[in-house]
């Protein structure tokens, strides 16, 4: 898929997959690109399986893209097996990190198909927790930003760094950093309240 090739060509970028709508033989997804503030839409649109790529609201400083692309056989199999992909998913240096929700037999069938297609899937852990149980878990992007903010003194009283300075250090828009940190704080508070933090 274009995601693997794009991130292999730009190993310093981290893509976060936020939303997805399947069509007949294609899907539409929304992705956030974390890295240099470049408009990647033309490059993404050049991949053979991409039908259309556009940057969403470039004036806001956001790095979100809407991409319409053809299904791979493995992706079509995931749809057929009714495997749910929890979002956001992260993609970096050609590797997708995600949580699959389905009976183990379906997940194994899907992973074998990915391996036959030349992929190198790794099952990291198994669980039988409910879909709602991971509210306190941070995505890789959220965890990275949280750790950077913590290290730079953003959460100290008084703060050692402002939101504007933090945004400049992590090369993201102020609104994106503010929104992400608000989500992080909410997730950590919910996890602490429920005793899972």
101-114 burial code (b ≥16 CB/10 A, e <16): bbeeebbebbbebb
Confidence at residue 163, expressed as pLDDT on a 0 to 100 scale: 92
What pLDDT score was predicted for residue 63?
85
Distance CA 81, CA 104 (A): 11
Nearest to 129 by CA among 87, 101, 90: 101
Extract the tokens encoding 82.
């009714």
Amino acid 125: pLDDT: 74
Nearest to 128 by CA among 104, 145, 107, 147: 104
CB neighbour class for 140 (10 Å; exposed up to 12, middle 13-18, buried from 19):
middle
Torsion of CA 88, 21, 60, 185, to 10 degrees: -30
* SS3 label, residue 53: strand
What is the location of CATH 1.10.10 in the chain? 134-194
- CATH architecture type of domain 134-194: Orthogonal Bundle (1.10)
What is the DSSP-derived secondary structure letter of residue 59?
G
Q: What pLDDT, on the 0 to 100 scale, is given for residue 42?
A: 95
- 3-class DSSP state of 4: helix
The per-residue pLDDT for 132 is 45
Q: What is the pLDDT of residue 129?
A: 54
pTM of the model: 0.61
The confidence score (pLDDT) of residue 131 equals 44
- CA 169/CA 22 separation, integer angstroms: 36
**Which positions of the chain have pLDDT values less than 70?**
58-62, 128-136, 191-197
Cα 115 from Cα 107, distance rounded (Å) = 12
| Cα 140 to Cα 130: distance, rounded to the nearest angstrom | 21
b/e for 9-43, b at 16 or more Cβ within 10 A?
ebeebbbbbeeeeeeeebbebbbbbbbeeeebbee
């Amino acid at each position: 898929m274009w995601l693997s090739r794009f991130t292999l060509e730009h190993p310093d970028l981290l893509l976060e997959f936020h939303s997805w709508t399947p069509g007949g033989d294609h899907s539409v997804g929304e992705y956030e690109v974390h890295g240099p503030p470049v408009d990647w839409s033309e490059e993404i649109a050049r991949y053979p399986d991409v039908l259309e790529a556009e940057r969403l609201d470039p004036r806001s400083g956001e790095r979100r893209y809407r991409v319409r692309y053809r299904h791979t056989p493995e992706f079509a199999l995931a749809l057929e097996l009714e495997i749910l992909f929890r979002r956001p998913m992260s993609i970096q240096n050609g590797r997708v990190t995600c949580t699959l929700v389905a009976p183990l037999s379906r997940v194994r069938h899907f992973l074998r198909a990915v391996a036959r297609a030349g992929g190198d899937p790794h099952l990291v852990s198994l669980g039988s927790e409910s879909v709602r149980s991971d509210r306190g878990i941070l995505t890789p992007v959220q965890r990275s930003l949280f750790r950077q903010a913590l290290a730079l003194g953003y959460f100290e009283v008084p703060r050692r760094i402002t939101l504007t300075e933090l945004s400049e250090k992590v090369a993201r828009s102020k609104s994106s950093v503010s929104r992400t940190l608000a989500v992080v704080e909410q997730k950590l508070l919910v996890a602490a309240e429920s005793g899972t933090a």
